[in-house]
A and B are shown apart, each in its own frame.
Chain A
Amino acid sequence: MIKTDVVIVGAGPVGLFAVHQLGIKGLKSEVIDNLDKAGGQCIELYPDKPIYDIAGIPECTGEELTNNLLDQIKPFKTNFHFNERVQEINSEGDNWIIKTSQNKVFSSPNIIIAGGVGSFEPRRLSVKDAEKYEGKNIFYSISDKNMFKNKKISIFGGGDSALDWALELSKIAKVTLIHRREEFRGAPHTLNQIKKEGKVDIKTKFQLSSISGKNNIESINIKNDDGKETEVKTDYILSFFGLIMKLGPITEWGLNMDKKTIKVNTENFETNKKGIFAIGDICTYPGKLKLILSGFHEGALASVECFKRARPNEKYRFEFTTSSKEIQARLGIKTK
């Protein structure tokens, strides 16, 4: 069991800055995120798109912001637990016991939920029987490409994942690449390479309409805009339609919810449960704006209440980073 002052759920920009605000108050936090790296929506949805409304930074991309925030919290040597989702929470006295999908257990007086719009999951196919074949004949990511050797593969999508895998797997398998329009979003040079090698059967303006098979997929039907159907013999379907955000188990924690967001007290961003806070896109209150800058403020206020709960016998003293020797020591700054 890992004991800590605060467990932060979500390693997006707001979760990362919360580490900072807690860190300068001398609090240790552990961060859990379902993705394999920090950055949240900034990294998954718009790594290259410039952001223009971070105070004091005229322009930066999602990736730059994430890297800068990681730099800023480096002195606190925070542990990140990636590829894990918080599954279950239970109260034990004044503490919360937090269990993840990898069966890691944490004990902490505070949980800060900075979960954005939920954890990212691959967008799943929704045609009939798709569920039956998922993990067996339908995949949303690839761990071992050798299983596709000499097989018939139908790849769906128009982005880089679809193009990269079409090109790669065409070396060892019979690949059909299916996309709903003629333009591909993925890198043009990959598409050119695929066309040059001529091994991939490209079917544009088609979408999946049905799957046929018994224990395994045998064929699929694809439909074009005019409703014309074509059969494609298929052993495996690879579907690359990006990620969606799902709230997951958070909805079962007994928090006051408003649709997909959690209601908070704006004094300290605490939810209806003592010691559970919500900040960033996932929290709601009158006038809430889903901006990164709002999340930074929310984290700062939540960190004060976290301090009071983690250090019940100490008095919280408000200090500035410019003048506090204590904060500067925590930041590893050598003072004269």
Chain B
Amino acid sequence: MPKITYIDSTGEQRTIDVQKGLSVMEGAIQNKIPGIDADCGGGMACATCHVYVKEEWFNKLPKVEDGEQDMIDMAFEPKKNSRLSCQLIVSDELDGMVVTTPSKQT
């Protein structure tokens, strides 16, 4: 199973196995990883599953869609490497990916 590492804003790391096909958001929710709220449940409608993706992984991800980019506008402290974790589907290619959660989601 691919491993995804979530680092919170205090620097604490949590690495978990996430089943292929789940989103990075679902992996976090199912494993009670703090820092990801996912209020809308994965509908690209709330920006509360916002994460920063480590550079080397960011470039491996499918491109950001307009709808996602529009929501990132509203996220807390968006950066160049911001993504909504509900849109990141875990695959073998993303095994080892590292994401950082912002200090808050709203």
Give Cα A158 to B73, complex, Å: 7
Contact status of A281 and B41, CB under 8 A, knowing A123-B106, A244-B46: yes
Asked if A321 CB lies within 8 Å of chain B CBs, one says no
Asked if A199 CB lies within 8 Å of chain B CBs, one says no
Shortest distance from the beta carbon of A259 to any chain B beta carbon, whole Å: 9
Number of A-B contacts (CB under 8 A): 47
Shortest distance from the beta carbon of B72 to any chain A beta carbon, whole Å: 8
Chain A interface mostly helix, strand, loop or mixed?
loop
Give Cα A157 to B78, complex, Å: 12
B contact residues vs A (CB 8 Å cutoff): 37, 39-41, 43, 45-46, 48, 69-70, 73-74, 76-80, 104, 106
User: What residue of chain A has the Cβ atom nearest to residue B77's Cβ?
Assistant: A207
Give Cα A241 to B106, complex, Å: 10
Chain B interface mostly helix, strand, loop or mixed?
loop
Of A6-14, A85-93, A136-144, A177-185, the one contacting chain B is A177-185
Shortest distance from the beta carbon of B55 to any chain A beta carbon, whole Å: 14
Whether A245 lies near B46 (C-beta < 8 A) is: yes
Whether B73 lies near A180 (C-beta < 8 A) is: yes
Asked if A316 CB lies within 8 Å of chain B CBs, one says no
Interface size bucket, A side? 20 to 34
Whether A126 lies near B40 (C-beta < 8 A) is: no
Chain A CB within 10 A, most for which of B39, B46, B69, B79 = B39
Query: For window 277-313 of chain A, which residues contact chain B by CB distance below 8 Å?
Result: 281, 290
Whether B41 lies near A126 (C-beta < 8 A) is: no
Whether B104 lies near A126 (C-beta < 8 A) is: yes
B43 contacts which chain A residues (CB < 8 A)? 45-46
* A to B CB contacts below 8 Å, 20 in the list: A45-B40, A45-B46, A117-B39, A117-B40, A117-B46, A123-B74, A126-B104, A157-B73, A158-B70, A159-B70, A180-B78, A181-B69, A181-B73, A225-B79, A241-B74, A242-B74, A245-B46, A246-B106, A281-B41, A290-B41
Instruction: List 8 tightest A-B contacts by C-beta distance, closest first.
Output: A45-B45, A185-B70, A290-B41, A242-B74, A241-B74, A117-B39, A244-B106, A158-B73
